[in-house]
């Protein structure tokens, strides 16, 4: 795998899984545009990428803003060149305060769809022309195993990630004739700041996890649900992105791949 | 991806997809056992792999016979000292003459399940104890997109193959955990797309006799725009 001379865009690329993806692609030689709403963190990650692959840029992006997404697409061409890979990673788990509520509110539904689904579509639409024109492109959408089946909390989040899987299939069908592949990744259980809050909510709302710390909740779910008995890491997800954008995956499109130690098998 | 020093056994690797898999693993550094029944084609693959610089030999294997898959695994361990990867690729489309039939005979059901399902089960059972004891191993089963809706007997066998993988990983997992309390072999169902191999030409011939089955599949071809290469 060598991505020298190729350009990747990672939304939500400043921190967490997005950052791991950016660093992995940089490690294989790609120039990376870090698109994130958090400018300070975006600059730090863009600097890290520049040290690895020699080329990076950052652009402050709110994926819910169509004009902002178009600005990102243009800024990518102007700074690092037209995009070969687009990684739609930006996502949220709810509207502010979601981790303290036991039920999804209308605001949770609206904002989560706005970012995770409509925002993803906004970014893809903004990059569509530069990819179709060059008859090349790889798009990777971050879904979640939460999108594979409902859970006892966070209905809005699970539903939004199921929508991402469906959106991936539709986009794949639309763009196949332009030699563009579109695939999704469904990460399993990762110990991230987001999961820390999910764990808090489980400990409050699910009787089986009452009184546990968030980390204990995660370990209990891993022991119960994950055949390989270990958590996944941002690097696991980054490796899968690298596969989907590589030549090895040139004939794979419209798929959603679970990276979850066997948690879910459909 | 570097498989330097690894050993892989690929069933049905004398031709088609299996051959593509064997050559690709070898190109990435792996020693590969060509387990097949077609000796002549198998020997050509062996020669090609050796010319590329890694080790290979032909192992005459009928995956419907457990003692033969046991032999296949034992011989590989004797020859290379370790076995890292088993690709359960061997498969059939029906019993002989199936290409000329519109609907599968009981013999076709029997043959596809003997090879496509029980063949995978037997190959996996032969390697399971070794991999579980070692606490490492990769098993890849070749299914087919027709394991999602499609031709009755072949499709049903390939759908079963996907389930065998799912249940297999849970069983291996539980057993290994009981014995060792640490992670266990991976088991994955790889779903093969349509490939440009002889079987497809035979199937295409059958489509002509059963035109109502064609649109759904041709749509998939159209959407992807390209055919899948065995590699």
Give the 3-state DSSP-derived string for B192-207, with helices as H, strands as E and coil as C: CCCECCHHHHHHHHHH
Decide: B199 and B151 in contact? Cβ < 8 Å.
no
What pLDDT score was predicted for residue A241?
A: 98
Phi-psi region of B53 (alpha: psi -120 to 50; beta: other; left: phi over 0): left
Q: What is the dihedral of CA B6, B8, B14, B19, to 10 degrees?
A: -70
Residue contact B228–A251, C-beta within 8 A? yes
pTM of the model: 0.81
What pLDDT score was predicted for residue A206?
A: 87
A193 belongs to a structural domain = no
What pLDDT score was predicted for residue B168?
A: 61
Q: By the CB < 8 Å criterion, does A253 face chain B? A: yes
Nearest Cβ partner of A262 from B169, B225, B229?
Answer: B169
Share of chain B above pLDDT 70, in %: 67
Count: domains in chain A = 1
Residue B77 pLDDT exceeds 90: yes
Task: Work out the number of other CB atoms within 10 angstroms of the CB of residue A246.
Answer: 16
Comparing CA positions, the residue from B18, B182, B178, B157 lying closest to residue B85 is B18
Decide: A234 and A217 in contact? Cβ < 8 Å.
no
Measured CA to CA, the distance from residue B58 to residue B37 in angstroms comes to 9
Mean pLDDT of B161-176: 64
A93 belongs to a structural domain = yes
Q: What is the dihedral of CA A228, A265, B220, B16, to 10 degrees?
A: 50
Taking only the tens place, the pLDDT of each residue in A169-204 is 999 999 999 999 999 999 999 998 888 988 988 888
- Annotation marks residue A157 as catalytic: yes
Measured CA to CA, the distance from residue B198 to residue A13 in angstroms comes to 45
Tokens of B198: 């002889």
Residue B146 pLDDT exceeds 70: no
Residue B195 pLDDT exceeds 80: no
Number of H helices and E strands in chain B, helices first, is 8, 6
Q: Distance (Å) from the C-alpha of residue A228 to the closest C-alpha of chain B?
A: 6
Whole-complex ipTM: 0.73
**What is the CATH code for B7-224?**
3.40.50.720
A224 belongs to a structural domain = no
Measured CA to CA, the distance from residue B48 to residue B20 in angstroms comes to 12
User: Which residues in A lie closer than 8 A to residue B229 (C-beta atoms)?
Assistant: 251
Q: By the CB < 8 Å criterion, does A177 face chain B? A: yes
Nearest Cβ partner of B226 from A227, A228, A251?
Answer: A251
User: Which residues in A lie closer than 8 A to residue B193 (C-beta atoms)?
Assistant: 251
What pLDDT score was predicted for residue A224?
A: 92
User: Which residues in B lie closer than 8 A to residue A265 (C-beta atoms)?
Assistant: 166, 169
Domain ranges of chain B: 7-224
Residue A207 pLDDT exceeds 80: yes
What pLDDT score was predicted for residue B188?
A: 46
A60 belongs to a structural domain = yes
Pairing of strands A56-60, A31-36: parallel
CA distances from A235 to A23, A50, A239, B196 (A): 9, 19, 6, 35
Cα A49 from chain centre: 18
Mean pLDDT of B126-154: 80
What pLDDT score was predicted for residue B62?
A: 96
Nearest Cβ partner of B225 from A176, A228, A229?
Answer: A176
A126 belongs to a structural domain = yes
A2 belongs to a structural domain = no
Taking only the tens place, the pLDDT of each residue in A26-47 is 999 999 999 999 999 999 999 9
A14 belongs to a structural domain = yes
A18 belongs to a structural domain = yes
CATH (domain of A135): 3.40.50.720
Residue contact B225–A179, C-beta within 8 A? yes
Phi-psi region of A244 (alpha: psi -120 to 50; beta: other; left: phi over 0): alpha
Residue count (chain A): 266
Taking only the tens place, the pLDDT of each residue in A95-104 is 998 888 888 9
Residue B96 pLDDT exceeds 50: yes
Domain of A164 in residue numbering reads as 7-188+233-259
């Amino acid at each position: 795998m060598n991505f020298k001379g190729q350009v990747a865009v990672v939304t939500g690329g400043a921190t967490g899984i997005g950052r791991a993806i950016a660093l992995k692609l940089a490690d294989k030689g790609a120039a990376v545009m870090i698109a994130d709403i958090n400018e300070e963190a975006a600059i730090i990650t863009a600097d890290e990428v520049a040290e690895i692959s020699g080329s990076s840029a950052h652009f402050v992006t709110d994926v819910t803003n169509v004009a902002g997404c178009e600005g990102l697409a243009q800024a990518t061409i102007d700074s690092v060149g037209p995009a070969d890979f687009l990684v739609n990673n930006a996502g949220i788990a709810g509207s502010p305060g979601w981790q303290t509520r036991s039920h999804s509110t209308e605001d949770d539904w609206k904002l989560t769809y706005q970012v995770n689904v409509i925002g993803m579509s906004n970014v893809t639409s903004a990059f569509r022309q530069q990819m179709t024109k060059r008859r090349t492109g790889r798009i990777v959408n971050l879904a979640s195993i939460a999108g594979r089946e409902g859970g006892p909390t966070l209905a809005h989040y699970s539903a939004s990630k199921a929508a991402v899987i469906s959106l991936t299939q539709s986009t794949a069908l639309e763009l196949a004739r332009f030699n563009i592949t579109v695939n999704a990744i469904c990460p399993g259980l990762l110990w991230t700041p987001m999961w820390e809050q999910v764990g808090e909510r489980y400990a409050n709302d699910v009787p089986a996890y009452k009184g546990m710390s968030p980390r204990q909740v995660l370990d209990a779910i891993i022991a119960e649900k994950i055949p390989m008995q270990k958590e996944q890491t941002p690097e696991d997800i980054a490796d899968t992105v690298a596969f989907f954008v590589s030549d090895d995956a040139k004939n794979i499109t419209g798929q959603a791949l679970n990276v979850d130690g066997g948690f879910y098998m459909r | 991806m570097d498989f330097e020093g690894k050993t892989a056994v690929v069933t049905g690797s004398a031709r088609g997809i299996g051959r593509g898999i064997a050559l690709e693993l070898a190109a990435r550094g792996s020693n590969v056992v060509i387990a097949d029944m077609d000796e002549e084609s198998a020997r050509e693959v062996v020669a090609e792999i050796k010319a590329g610089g890694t080790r290979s030999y032909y192992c005459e294997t009928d995956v419907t016979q457990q003692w033969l898959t046991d032999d296949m695994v034992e011989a590989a361990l004797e020859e290379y000292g370790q076995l890292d990867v088993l690709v359960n690729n061997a498969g059939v489309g029906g019993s002989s003459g199936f290409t000329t039939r519109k609907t599968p005979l009981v013999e076709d059901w029997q043959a596809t399940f003997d090879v496509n399902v029980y063949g995978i089960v037997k190959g996996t059972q032969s390697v399971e104890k070794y991999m579980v004891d070692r606490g490492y191993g990769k098993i890849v089963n070749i299914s087919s997109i027709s394991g999602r809706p499609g031709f009755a007997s072949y499709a049903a066998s390939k759908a079963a193959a996907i389930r065998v993988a799912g249940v297999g990983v849970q069983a291996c997992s539980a057993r290994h955990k009981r014995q060792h309390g640490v992670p266990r072999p991976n088991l994955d169902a790889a779903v093969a797309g349509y490939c440009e191999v002889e079987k497809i030409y035979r199937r295409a011939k059958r489509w002509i006799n059963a035109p109502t089955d064609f649109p759904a599949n041709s749509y998939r071809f159209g959407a992807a725009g390209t055919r899948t290469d065995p590699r």
